[in-house]
C-alpha cells in the first residue's frame, strides 16, 4: 500500500487510484457527474506552467478533464504499484 | 412549446460534447427556432419536422452530465424533462466514452420515459479500438439503440424510423437493479411515500432523487410539509452512509458508475495499445507547457487578423449604399419629423447590418470551428493560469472572446459557468471588452488619425484594463471561484456544414434579440434630435464635457447617446461638430480625440447589453455594471486629458 497524496503532488504518466475526494458537495457532485469516483484509475497527463491547471486522464471512463489546482488538491490518490 | 396540439414531443438529451446538437440540427434542418435568449418563451431549440407524414415536435436540450444539475444551463434540461413529460426521449451517447456516458442513460432509465439511444460517433469509437455489441446493449438497457455518425448524417434515417416505431408501438422502460442493500433502502423510502406525495415519473425515481437531492433546498421544503417523511429520509441516508462509508448521494452515484462500467464491459471489447493515436501526438504539442502558449498566441492573432480582414472591407461595402440611401432620403423628405424618424430607422438597420454583422459573422464562424475541433476547451485549459490571476478560471475565456464580436451573446454564454460568482464577475467584465461597434470607433478615430500602432496600443491597454478590473472586482467577492473542472473532448475533424448551421442559428437569435433594441433606440434618437433635445443635454453635461474633459460642449449629446448605439457616437460627433470626416482635425485636436475615444469606449454598455444583463443576471448587476463603466470612463478619460491635453 503506497501513501496517500493529493493529485497535485502525484508524478505524471503514472497510474493512480482515487482514494478520496475532499471538498464540499458542489465540487464532489460535479466531479462524480463527470465520471470521477473513488477507486477509479487516473493518470496525470501534462502540466501547464505558472502553477496552472492539471490535465487528468481517467483511465476507467476514458475521459480527459482539466482541473484547476484548487480542485486537483482535493482529489486524494495513491500510486498503483 | 406546443402543448396546443397533439404532435408528439421528442426530446434530445445527452452529455456535453456528445454531438447531440449536431444530430438535432441534421434532423431539424434550418427551420429550427432558437429560443435560447430569455424573454422569448423557453430556453431551448425546437423545431417541427415531418417524418413520413408524421409531424414531430423535436426539442434540443442543453448538454447535461447528470440529472442532478450543477450549472444553470443544465437546470433547463431538467425542468423541461420533469414538467413537459415528453412522448419520447432520444439519449445521445458518445460511443467513444461509452462507460461514462451510460451514467446519464441509467438515470434516464430510472426516470422511465420512453426512450431511444442514439449511439453517436461510432466511427470515433472504432478508431479508438472499441467494438460495441449493439444488440447486447439493447438487451441490457431494454431500449432500442441506433448507431449514428451525426456529423456525416449517418444513421439518421434509422433513428427516425425507430422514433416512429417507438411512438406507434409504445416503449416501456424498466429500471435496472442495483446492489441489494441499496435497493432495500430505496424500497424502504418508497413504502413511506404517502399517496398524495408529488411523485415525479415514478416512485423509485422520486425516492432516489430525494436521497440524492441537494440538502439545502429540498430538505427545508420537506421538513415543512412532511416532518415524519423527512425523518425517514434522514434515516435512509444515514444507513446508506454507514453501510458504504460515504455520503448518501455518493453511494447512489457510485452505484450508477459501477453499473455503467459493468454494462460497458459486457457490451464492448477494447483493443488497446495498438498505436499512439495521431490525435494524442497533436495534443502533446498544442497543450505543451511552452509550445502550447506560442500556438495559442498565434491562433489568437490569426483569429483577429482574419476577423478584421473579412470585417472591415465588408463593412465599407455595406455601409456605403446605406449612407447614400440616407442622404437621398434626407433630401426628398425635407426637415420634418418624418425625415428624422426614417433616418433613425435606417441608421439602426445600418448599424446592425453594416457594423455588427461584418465582424460578428466571421467571429462566430471561427468560434464554432474552434469549438468543434475541440480547441476551445484546450484554450480554456491553457488560459486557466492567467484567468486565475484575475480571480476567474479557464471557462470564462470563451465568453470573453465572444465579447469582441458583441457583448450580448457573450453574456448569454456565461451560462456555462457553474457558480453565480463567476457569472457575475465575467458579466461585469464583458462590457469592458471592445465589441465590433467600439472597434469600429477605435479604428475610425485612433487608427485613422493617429496611426495603426496607436490603435493596437489602445487594444492592449483595454485588455490590461480588463485584467486589472477583474482583480479589483474579485476583491469584493468573499467566496473563491469553485475552480476549473472542464472536460477536454477528443480532437475532431469539424464539418463545414455543421459549423455553418451553428453560425446561422447563433446569428438568427442574435438578430432577434439585438436588432429590435438597436432600431428602436435609433428611432428614439432621431425623434430627440428633431425636438432639439440635444442642446438641453449639452447644457447639462457641459461641466463634465467642457471643464472636466476639455472637449467641445457640443459633444455632450454624443456621449449620452453612445448608450443607445455605441458606433453612432462617431457619426453623431461629426454631426454635432458640423464637419466632415476628413476635416475633423480642424475643429478638434488629436489629444482631444483620444480623450473622447477613451470615454466612449468604456462608457456604460449599450442598451442591448444592459437589457440583457438585467434579464440574465439581475437588476443589481445591471445597475452596478452601468455605474462601474461610467466611473471607469470618467476617471480614465480625465487621466487621459491630464496627460495629453495641456
Whether B103 and B227 share a structural domain: no
pLDDT of B348 above 90? no
**Residue B232 burial (CB < 10 Å; 0-12/13-18/19+)?**
middle
Kindly state whether residues B39 and B187 are assigned to the same domain.
no
Residues B155 and B185 in one domain: no
Q: Report the alpha-carbon distance of residue B239 to residue B185 in Å, rounded.
A: 8
* CB < 8 Å to A57, chain B: none
B486 to A70: CB separation less than 8 angstroms, yes or no = no
Q: Would you call B487 an interface residue with chain A, using a CB distance cutoff of 8 Å?
A: yes
The answer to whether residue B3 is domain-embedded is no
Q: End of a domain among B138, B169, B200?
A: B169
**Is B4 domain-assigned?**
no
Spatial CB neighbours of B382, under 8 Å, sequence gap ≥ 6: A48, A52, B287, B292, B293, B296, B394
**Shared-domain flag, residues B218 and B75:** no
Tally of structural domains, chain B: 3
Residue B33 has pLDDT above 80, yes or no: no
Please say whether the beta carbons of A65 and A36 come within 8 A: yes
Q: Domain of B61?
A: 9-169
State yes or no: pLDDT of B72 exceeds 60.
Answer: yes
Q: What is the pLDDT of residues B537-591, one digit of tens each?
A: 888 888 888 888 888 888 888 877 777 767 767 777 777 777 777 777 888 888 8
Residues B73 and B187 in one domain: no
Domain boundaries A4-79, corresponding CATH code: 2.30.30.90
Q: How close is the nearest chain A Cα to the Cα of B296, in Å?
A: 13
Q: Do residue A48 and residue B289 have CB atoms under 8 angstroms apart?
A: yes
Query: What are the cell numbers at B519?
Result: 432600431
Q: Is B139 left (phi over 0), alpha (psi -120 to 50) or beta?
A: alpha
Chain B segment 396-425 residues within 8 A of A by beta carbon are: 418-419
Q: Does residue B279 fall inside a structural domain?
A: no
Clarify whether residues B244 and B301 are in a common domain: no
pLDDT at B1 over 60: no
Torsion, CA A10, CA A16, CA A19, CA A21, rounded to 10: 60
Give the C-alpha separation, B90 to B10, whole Å. 7
- The answer to whether B476 contacts chain A (CB < 8 Å) is no
Residue B219 lies in a domain: yes
pTM given for the model: 0.82
pLDDT of residue B315: 79
CB-based contact B254 A51, cutoff 8 Å: no
Comparing CB atoms, the residue among B253, B377, B385 nearest residue A51 is B385
CATH number of the domain that residue B200 is part of: 1.10.287
Mark whether B105 and B215 lie in a shared domain.
Answer: no
Q: Shortest Cα distance from B489 to chain A (angstroms)? A: 7
pLDDT at B32: 65
Residues B164 and B189 in one domain: no
B184 in the same domain as B88: no
> In this structure, is residue B73 part of a structural domain?
yes
- Last-in-domain residue among B208, B237, B270: B270
At A64, give phi and psi (nearest 5°): -115, 135
- Picking from B237, B270, B303, the residue at the C-terminal end of a domain is B270
Q: What is the CATH number of the domain that holds B73?
A: 3.40.50.300
Nearest to B64, CA basis, from B11, B14, B119, B117? B14
Contact B349, B326 (CB under 8 A): no
Question: Given a cut of 70, is residue B620 above it in pLDDT?
Answer: yes
In a domain, B370, yes or no: yes
- Alpha-carbon distance of B156 to B92, in angstroms, equals 12
Between CA B176 and CA B347 the distance in angstroms is 62
Same domain, B616 and B593: yes
Nearest CA-CA distance, residue A56 and chain B, Å: 9
pLDDT class of B273 with cuts at 50, 70, 90: low
Given a cut of 80, is residue B420 above it in pLDDT? yes
**What digits encode the pLDDT tens for the residues B540-555?**
888 888 888 888 888 8
Same domain, B504 and B474: yes
Across all residues in chain B, what is the average pLDDT? 84
Rounded Cα distance between B220 and B231, Å, is 12
Whether residue B38 has pLDDT greater than 60:
no
pLDDT tens, residue by residue, B139-177: 999 999 999 999 888 999 999 999 999 999 988 888 888
pLDDT under 70: residue ranges of chain A: 1, 46-51
- Mean pLDDT for B457-485 is 87
Within this chain, do residues B511 and B598 fall inside the same structural domain, yes or no?
yes
Residues contacting B75, CB < 8 A, separation 6+: B69
Amino acid at each position: 500500500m503506497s501513501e496517500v497524496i493529493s493529485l497535485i503532488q502525484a508524478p505524471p504518466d503514472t497510474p493512480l487510484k482515487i482514494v478520496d475526494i475532499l471538498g464540499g458537495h458542489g465540487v464532489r457532485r460535479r466531479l462524480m457527474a463527470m465520471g470521477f469516483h473513488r477507486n477509479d484509475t487516473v493518470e496525470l497527463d501534462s502540466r501547464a506552467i505558472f502553477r496552472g491547471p492539471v490535465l487528468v486522464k481517467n483511465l476507467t471512463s476514458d475521459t480527459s478533464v482539466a482541473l484547476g489546482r484548487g480542485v486537483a488538491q482535493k482529489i486524494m490518490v495513491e500510486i498503483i504499484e | 412549446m406546443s402543448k396546443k396540439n397533439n404532435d408528439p414531443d421528442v426530446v434530445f438529451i445527452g452529455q456535453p460534447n456528445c454531438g447531440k446538437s449536431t444530430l438535432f440540427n441534421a434532423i431539424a434542418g434550418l427551420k429550427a427556432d432558437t429560443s435560447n435568449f430569455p424573454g422569448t418563451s423557453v430556453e431551448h431549440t425546437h423545431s417541427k419536422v415531418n417524418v413520413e407524414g408524421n409531424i414531430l415536435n423535436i426539442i434540443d436540450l442543453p448538454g447535461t452530465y447528470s440529472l442532478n444539475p450543477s450549472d444553470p444551463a443544465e437546470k433547463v434540461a431538467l425542468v423541461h424533462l420533469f414538467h413537459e413529460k415528453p412522448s419520447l426521449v432520444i439519449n445521445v451517447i458518445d460511443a467513444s466514452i461509452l462507460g461514462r456516458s451510460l451514467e446519464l442513460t441509467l438515470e434516464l432509465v430510472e426516470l422511465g420515459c420512453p426512450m431511444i439511444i442514439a449511439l453517436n460517433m461510432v466511427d470515433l469509437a472504432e478508431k479508438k479500438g472499441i467494438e460495441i455489441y449493439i444488440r447486447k446493449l439493447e438487451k441490457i438497457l431494454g431500449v432500442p439503440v441506433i448507431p449514428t455518425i451525426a456529423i456525416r448524417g449517418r444513421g439518421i434515417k434509422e433513428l427516425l424510423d425507430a422514433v416512429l416505431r417507438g411512438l406507434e408501438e409504445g416503449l416501456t422502460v424498466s429500471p435496472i437493479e442495483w446492489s441489494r442493500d441499496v435497493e432495500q433502502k430505496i424500497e424502504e423510502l418508497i413504502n413511506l411515500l404517502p399517496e398524495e406525495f408529488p411523485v415525479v415519473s415514478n416512485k423509485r425515481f422520486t425516492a432516489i432523487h430525494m436521497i440524492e437531492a441537494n440538502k439545502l433546498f429540498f430538505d427545508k421544503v420537506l421538513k415543512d410539509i412532511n416532518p415524519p417523511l423527512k425523518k425517514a429520509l434522514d434515516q435512509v441516508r444515514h444507513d446508506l452512509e454507514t453501510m458504504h462509508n460515504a455520503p448518501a448521494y455518493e453511494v447512489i452515484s457510485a452505484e450508477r458508475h459501477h453499473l455503467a462500467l459493468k454494462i460497458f464491459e459486457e457490451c464492448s471489447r477494447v483493443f488497446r495499445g495498438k498505436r499512439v493515436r495521431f490525435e494524442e501526438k497533436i495534443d502533446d504539442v498544442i497543450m505543451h507547457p511552452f509550445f502550447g502558449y506560442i500556438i495559442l498566441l498565434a491562433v489568437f492573432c490569426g483569429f483577429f487578423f482574419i476577423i478584421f480582414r473579412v470585417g472591415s472591407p465588408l463593412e465599407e461595402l455595406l455601409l456605403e449604399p446605406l449612407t447614400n440611401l440616407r442622404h437621398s432620403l434626407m433630401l426628398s423628405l425635407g426637415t420634418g419629423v418624418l425625415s428624422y424618424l426614417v433616418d433613425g430607422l435606417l441608421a439602426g438597420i445600418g448599424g446592425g447590418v453594416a457594423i455588427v454583422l461584418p465582424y460578428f459573422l466571421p467571429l462566430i464562424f471561427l468560434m464554432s470551428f474552434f469549438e468543434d475541433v475541440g480547441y476551445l476547451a484546450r484554450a480554456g485549459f491553457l488560459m486557466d493560469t492567467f484567468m486565475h490571476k484575475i480571480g476567474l478560471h479557464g471557462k470564462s475565456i470563451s465568453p470573453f472572446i465572444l465579447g469582441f464580436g458583441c457583448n450580448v451573446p457573450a453574456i448569454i454564454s456565461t451560462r456555462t459557468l457553474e457558480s453565480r460568482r463567476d457569472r457575475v464577475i465575467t458579466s461585469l467584465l464583458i462590457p469592458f471588452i471592445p465589441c465590433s461597434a467600439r472597434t469600429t470607433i477605435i479604428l475610425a478615430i485612433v487608427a485613422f488619425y493617429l496611426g495603426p500602432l496607436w490603435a493596437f496600443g489602445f487594444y492592449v491597454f483595454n485588455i490590461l484594463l480588463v485584467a486589472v478590473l477583474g482583480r479589483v472586482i474579485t476583491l469584493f467577492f468573499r467566496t473563491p471561484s469553485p475552480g476549473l473542472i472542464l472536460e477536454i473532448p477528443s480532437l475532431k475533424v469539424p464539418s463545414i456544414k455543421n459549423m455553418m448551421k451553428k453560425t446561422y442559428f447563433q446569428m438568427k437569435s442574435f438578430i432577434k434579440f439585438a436588432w429590435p433594441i438597436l432600431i428602436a433606440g435609433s428611432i428614439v434618437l432621431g425623434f430627440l434630435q428633431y425636438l432639439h433635445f440635444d442642446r438641453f443635454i449639452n447644457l447639462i453635461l457641459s461641466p463634465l464635457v467642457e471643464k472636466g474633459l476639455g472637449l467641445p460642449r457640443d459633444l455632450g449629446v454624443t456621449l449620452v447617446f453612445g448608450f443607445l448605439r455605441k458606433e453612432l457616437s462617431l457619426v453623431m460627433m461629426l454631426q454635432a461638430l458640423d464637419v466632415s470626416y476628413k476635416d475633423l482635425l480642424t475643429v478638434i485636436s488629436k489629444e482631444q480625440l483620444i480623450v473622447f475615444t477613451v470615454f466612449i469606449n468604456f462608457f456604460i454598455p449599450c442598451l442591448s447589453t444592459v437589457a440583457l444583463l438585467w434579464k440574465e443576471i439581475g437588476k443589481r448587476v445591471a445597475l452596478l455594471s452601468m455605474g462601474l463603466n461610467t466611473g471607469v470612463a470618467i476617471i480614465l478619460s480625465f487621466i487621459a486629458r491630464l496627460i495629453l491635453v495641456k
